């Protein structure tokens, strides 16, 4: 589904990603863990196409198409979804209005018919119920005044509404208490259907107790330093990143 080859990226001429190779087959959940400053969030933002991140080398292929050739909105239409670590507040436009514009933009690109008000609201009802999301939230402006948990739940709700192929979760666990974490994780798990792929970026192993990954990668200093199964995450939780960091430092 997603093939990242020798990816290098910089922010304001400072190299952050230094040759990432990563393949996520259809239906798999991969996790990227790593210490602060290792480039985890940069990877998410490069995938989403944020302008201030410059790709200097390498390629990203999404389902056979060159992602780096696409504008951010095209990437979303092609099935990439990034759940933001810090969802942006947009006062003045209700979540419902915004989502309908998004859903129909994506559907138009995928050559599906536009949802009318009734169909849209049915879809909202169905997806919100699965996430235990209070639909009155959707009448409020996009993310405005939402609690941390509400923001993250709203991101996952948007994900469910847009029906992506490849989901990137950028530190979705940050700022969540255990109950919110469970609800969000259940929402994500409900979207695992054997075809949709996930890249779960997190600093802590805790999230991976709920969203159990097929593969865990450890990102250190802009490269993948180690790859393993879910046990690797547990090992990191016990031992910290120090042992891997020192291995990387020695081999460099």
Partner 1 sequence: MTTDTMNDHRQFESEFARLADRGDAISELRRAAYDRFLELGWPTMRGEAYRYTDCRPIAQADLRLATEGRDLPMDVLRPHLLEGVPTHRLVFVNGIFNETLSDIGTVTEGVTVCRLADAITEQPELVARHLGTTIDWKQDAFDALNTAFVEDGLLLHVPKGVHLEQPVHVVHVTVPGEQPIVSHPRTLIIADDGSRATCVETCCGHGDEACLVNPVTEIVAGDDVHVDHYRIVREGKGTWHIGGFGLTQGNESNVNSCCMAMEGALIRNGMTGTLDGTNGMANLRGLAIVDGDRHVDNFLRVNHMKPDCNSREYFKHILTDRGTTAFTGRIYVELDAQKTDAVQTNMNLVLSETAKVRTRPQLEIFADDVKCTHGATIGRLDEQAAFYLHARGIGEEAARSLLTFAFANEVIEDIEFAPLRKKMEALILDRLPHGELLRSMGDLD
Q: Which two tokens stand for residue 162?
A: 């847009």
123 part of the interface to partner 1, by CB under 8 A:
no
Residue 173, Cβ neighbours under 10 Å: how many?
23
3-state secondary structure of 32: strand
40 part of the interface to partner 1, by CB under 8 A:
no
96 part of the interface to partner 1, by CB under 8 A:
yes
Of positions 117, 179, 193, 252, contacts partner 1 by CB under 8 A: 117
Q: Which two tokens stand for residue 114?
A: 């536009």
63: left (phi over 0), alpha (psi -120 to 50) or beta: left
Give the bridge partners for 2, in sequence order.
24, 62
Of positions 11, 61, 102, 123, contacts partner 1 by CB under 8 A: 102
Positions in 52-91 near partner 1 (CB under 8 A): 71-73, 75-77, 81-82, 84, 87-88, 90-91
Q: Give the whole-angstrom CA distance, residue 49 versus residue 74.
A: 10
Kindly report the backbone phi and psi dihedral angles of residue 245, in degrees, each rounded to the nearest multiple of 5, phi listed first. Answer: -60, -40
CA distances from 153 to 9, 133, 172, 206 (A): 30, 7, 9, 17
What is the pattern of x (binds partner 1, CB under 8 A) and - over residues 145-184? -------------x---x----------------------
Give the bridge partners for 90, in sequence order.
142
Of positions 121, 123, 191, 212, contacts partner 1 by CB under 8 A: 121
CB of 226 to partner 1, least distance (A): 30
Q: Give the whole-angstrom CA distance, residue 221 versus residue 20.
A: 10
Q: Which stretch binds partner 1 (CB under 8 A): 14-22, 95-103, 171-179, 222-230?
A: 95-103
104 part of the interface to partner 1, by CB under 8 A:
yes
Using alpha carbons only, give the angle 228, 200, 30 rounded to the nearest 5 degrees: 35
Specify the residue, 117 or 178, whose C-beta has the smaller distance to partner 1.
117
CB 58 within 8 A of CB 7: yes
Q: Which two tokens stand for residue 210?
A: 């709920």
111 part of the interface to partner 1, by CB under 8 A:
no
CB of 212 to partner 1, least distance (A): 26
E strand residue ranges, the chain: 2-11, 14-24, 29-33, 53-62, 65-66, 80-83, 90-94, 141-142, 166-170, 197-202, 215-220, 223-228
92 part of the interface to partner 1, by CB under 8 A:
yes
Specify the residue, 124 or 232, whose C-beta has the smaller distance to partner 1.
124
Specify the residue, 75 or 152, whose C-beta has the smaller distance to partner 1.
75
Specify the residue, 4 or 76, whose C-beta has the smaller distance to partner 1.
76
- Positions that interact with partner 1 (CB under 8 A): 48-51, 71-73, 75-77, 81-82, 84, 87-88, 90-93, 96-102, 104-106, 109, 117, 120-121, 141, 158, 162
């Amino acid at each position: 589904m997603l093939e990242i080859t020798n990816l290098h990226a910089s922010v304001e001429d400072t190299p952050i990603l230094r040759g990432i190779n990563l393949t996520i087959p259809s239906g798999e959940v991969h996790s990227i863990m790593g210490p602060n400053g290792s480039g985890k969030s940069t990877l998410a933002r490069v995938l989403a196409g944020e302008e201030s991140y410059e790709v200097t080398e390498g390629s990203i292929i999404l389902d056979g198409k060159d992602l780096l050739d696409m504008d951010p909105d095209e990437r979303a239409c092609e099935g990439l979804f990034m759940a933001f670590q810090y969802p942006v507040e947009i006062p003045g436009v209700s979540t419902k209005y915004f989502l309908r514009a998004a859903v129909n933009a994506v559907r138009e690109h995928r050559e599906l018919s536009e949802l009318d008000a009734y169909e849209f609201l049915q879809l909202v009802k169905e997806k919100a119920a699965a996430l235990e999301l209070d639909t009155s939230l959707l009448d409020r402006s996009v993310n405005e005044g939402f609690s941390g948990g509400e923001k993250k739940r709203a991101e996952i709700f948007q994900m469910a509404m847009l029906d992506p192929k490849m989901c990137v979760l950028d530190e979705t666990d940050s700022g969540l208490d255990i109950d919110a974490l469970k609800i969000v994780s259940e929402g994500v798990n409900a979207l695992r259907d054997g075809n949709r792929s996930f890249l779960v970026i997190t600093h802590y192993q805790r999230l991976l107790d709920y969203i159990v990954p097929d593969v865990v990668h450890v990102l250190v200093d802009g490269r993948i330093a180690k790859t393993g199964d879910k046990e690797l995450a547990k090992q990191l939780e016990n031992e910290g990143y120090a042992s891997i960091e020192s291995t990387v430092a020695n081999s460099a």
